[in-house]
Amino acid sequence: MNTAKLHELDPQVCLTDVLERVASEGTKNHQLHELLAWNWKAARQRAAQQAAA
């Protein structure tokens, strides 16, 4: 939660997404690094930029 706050993320949104991805088995063991707050934020920013383009 604090890591999300440090990266200026809404902890509830971040945690909800991460837990949903883990629970749905949509994230494999070798992809767990993608769920770290700084990687999660970067992926969200890339997706927003692509959507805007």
- Summarised one tens digit per residue, pLDDT across range 18-33 is 999 889 988 888 989 9
The confidence score (pLDDT) of residue 27 equals: 82
User: Residue 32 corresponds to which tokens in the numbers above?
Assistant: 């767990």
SS3 53: coil
Proportion of the chain above pLDDT 70, given as a percent:
100
Task: Tell me what pLDDT residue 14 has.
Answer: 93
User: What confidence score (pLDDT) does residue 26 get?
Assistant: 80
Q: What integer best gives the mean pLDDT of the chain?
A: 91
CB 53 within 8 A of CB 47: no
